[in-house]
Structure formats: structure tokens, C-alpha cells
Amino acid sequence: MQKIKEKSIEAFLILCASITVFTTLGIIVILSIETFQFFREVSVFEFFTGTEWTPLFAIKKYGILPLVAGTLLTTLIAIAVALPLGLTIAVYLNEYADQRLKAVIKPLLEILAAIPTVVYGFFALTFVTPVLQKIIPSLSGFNALSAGLVMGVMIIPYVSSLSEDALSAVPKSLREAAYGMGSTRLQTAFKVMLPAASSGVIVSVILAISRAIGETMIVAVAAGQEPKFTFNPLQSIETITTYIVQVSMGDVPQNSLEFRSIFAAGITLFGLTFILNNISYWMKQKYQQKYE
């Protein structure tokens, strides 16, 4: 009796663990099926090379490049903010700041990642854009620049915290050896510690990129809904995620081609982040082995 109970509990636990696998499978299967349906009406070639995306207009064009360009543009701006800031903060906390300061700064910065993204969207639209418009008069009301900048601040803790963890994992002996050879702090930090922690740092950056690509509410609020094949950050653009929100909020009939286009957009988004996540997982495994 006891044995049966134990076995059935174990079976239940396995089932629960399997739900995560079913989730991944579900995502892949659903996106694939709907995208397959979509591609029966739209040519794959047009989809991946077209520079116009107008599914909600009278003349419908399905070229994903404008949405991809919008996504990459905001991501690029965000990383341009988060990478230098986050990395400098990580080095500072690891090499210069004393433990007490670090114990205060790290959680404070992590607040940035806890704030709901719709709040950042509001901040970008109603505060950052008007301020930037005073400096750059040609900046449009919705633009990639302020959305990207605010998103960059949001992902600072992704870079700084994870990179700092990676720096902390470097064996003390390396640092002591560097100091022993007469290096300054700066030399130790950038020529010894950072290269030693490089894979961990790269993992943090990849995760931050993946986060920025999938970010929805900041760009949906502040970057606009105009799919344009441009890399001009002063204009209103549209990202893949914003498009999905736009269709979900509108009254597009289900099972129509316009409706299916969110799955085609979704699989593009999923593909991008899936590749990045796998690279980072693979790198993490490799780098953990190195020092254990």
C-alpha cells in the first residue's frame, strides 16, 4: 500500500515537471501550425524580404523586415545604454566598493528590474520624450529613441548583477596574483578579472539582449505603431511585440489572415530569443565547469 502511494506521488511529480516541457512544445506547435497556415497565403520569400508591413490596411503587404528593424533598433539603443553602464557598475561593485556599499547598491539597482514595464512606458512617453524634444526638436511624439533609452535603464541590473556574480566567481588567487605582480586596481579589473569572467559577462549581455527583444509595453506605449523600414531613432516605428499587442487590442476577426499574421510575427520573435537563450545556457554550462 505504502509502495503504491509512493509510486503514484512520484508519477504526479513527474507529471508536474513535464508541464514545463508541454509548455515549450505547445508554444512551438501552435506557432508552427498557425504560421504554416499563414504561409499558404503569403509567400515565405515576401515575408522575410519584404520591406512593407501593412496587414491592417486595404492593400496588404506582409514583409516582416520593418518590424524586425524596429525591434533591433530599440534593442540596440537599450544595449548601448545598459552594456557600458552595467559593466562599469559590475566592475566597480566587485573591485572598488566595500561590502556594505555593495549590499545596498545591488538591491537598489535591482528595483529597476522589478518595476512593471508599463510604468516605464508611461515614463518614456510623458517625461523622457518631452525632455528630449527640447534638445532635438525634430523628435516625433512616439519614437524609438526614448523607448530604447528607458529600456536600457531597465535592463542595467540584468547586466550589472549577473556580471558581478560572474566576477565574484573568479578565484581569489587570480586577483592576488595580479596585485602581487604590481598591477593597479584598474589593470587587475580590466586585464585579469574581466577576461577571466568573460563568458559569464557575455551570458549576462545575451540575456539582456533577449529581454530587450521581447520587451513589449515600453515600446507599445512610447515607440509608436508605424512599421517603417528605418534605423532612424527619431521616428515613430513599430516592433514585433507592439504589432502583436496592436492586433490583440483591435477587432480583427479570428482565423483571418491578419489574425494569423501575429503568429508569424510571434514565431520570428520566439526564434530570435530561443537562439539567444540557448547560446547563453550553453555558455553558462561551459563556464561553470571551468572553475568548479
Partner 1 sequence: MFKDSLFKYFAIFCTSIGLIVLALLLFDIFSKGLTRIDWDFITNLPSRRPERAGILTALFGMMWIVTLTILIACPIGIAAAVYLEEYSSKNRFAKFIEINISNLAGVPSIIYGILGLEVFVRLLKLGNSVLAGSLTLSLLVLPVIIVATREAIKSVPNSLREASIGLGATPWQTIQRIVLPACFGSILTGIILAISRAVGETAPLIVVGALVYVPFVPQTPMDQFTVLPIQIFNWTSRPQHGFVVNAAAGIIILLLFVFLLNSIAIILRNRHNKRVKY
Residues 22-81 that bind partner 1 (CB under 8 A): 23-24, 26-27, 30-31, 34
Contacts to partner 1 from residues 84-143, by CB under 8 A: 84-85, 88-89, 91-93, 96, 105, 107-109, 111-112, 114-123, 125-127
Amino acid at 93: L
Query: Among the candidate windows 12-20, 61-69, 72-80, 169-177, which touches partner 1 by CB under 8 A?
Result: 12-20
Give residue 244's Cα distance to chain centre: 16
Q: How far is the CB of 171 from partner 1 (least distance, A)?
A: 22
CB atoms within 10 A of CB 278: 11
**For partner 1, the closer CB: 43 or 88:** 88
**For partner 1, the closer CB: 121 or 148:** 121
**For partner 1, the closer CB: 178 or 269:** 269
Q: How many CA atoms lie within 13 A of 263 on its CB side?
A: 21
Query: Among the candidate windows 58-66, 132-140, 230-238, 277-285, which touches partner 1 by CB under 8 A?
Result: 277-285
Contacts to partner 1 from residues 154-213, by CB under 8 A: 156-157, 160, 184-186, 207, 210-211, 213
Cα separation, 11 vs 9, whole angstroms = 5
**For partner 1, the closer CB: 2 or 173:** 2
233: DSSP letter: T
Contacts to partner 1 from residues 220-249, by CB under 8 A: 220-221, 241, 244-245, 248-249
**For partner 1, the closer CB: 49 or 141:** 141
Q: Among 125, 106, 138, 84, which residue's Cα sits nearest to residue 218?
A: 125
63: DSSP letter: -
Q: Among 86, 148, 139, 140, which residue's Cα sits nearest to residue 121?
A: 148
Q: How far is the CB of 143 from partner 1 (least distance, A)?
A: 15
Q: How far is the CB of 231 from partner 1 (least distance, A)?
A: 22
Query: How deeply is 171 buried, as exposed, middle or buried, from its count of CB atoms within 10 A (0-12, 13-18, 19+)?
Result: exposed
**For partner 1, the closer CB: 19 or 58:** 19
252: DSSP letter: P
Q: How far is the CB of 239 from partner 1 (least distance, A)?
A: 10
**For partner 1, the closer CB: 248 or 256:** 248
53 and 64 Cβ atoms separated by less than 8 Å: yes
**For partner 1, the closer CB: 26 or 195:** 26
Cα separation, 65 vs 216, whole angstroms = 18
Q: How far is the CB of 26 from partner 1 (least distance, A)?
A: 6
253: DSSP letter: P
Q: Among 122, 116, 186, which residue's Cα sits nearest to residue 154?
A: 116
All three cell numbers of 175, joined, read 586577483
Q: How far is the CB of 59 from partner 1 (least distance, A)?
A: 26
Number of residues that bind partner 1 (CB under 8 A): 83
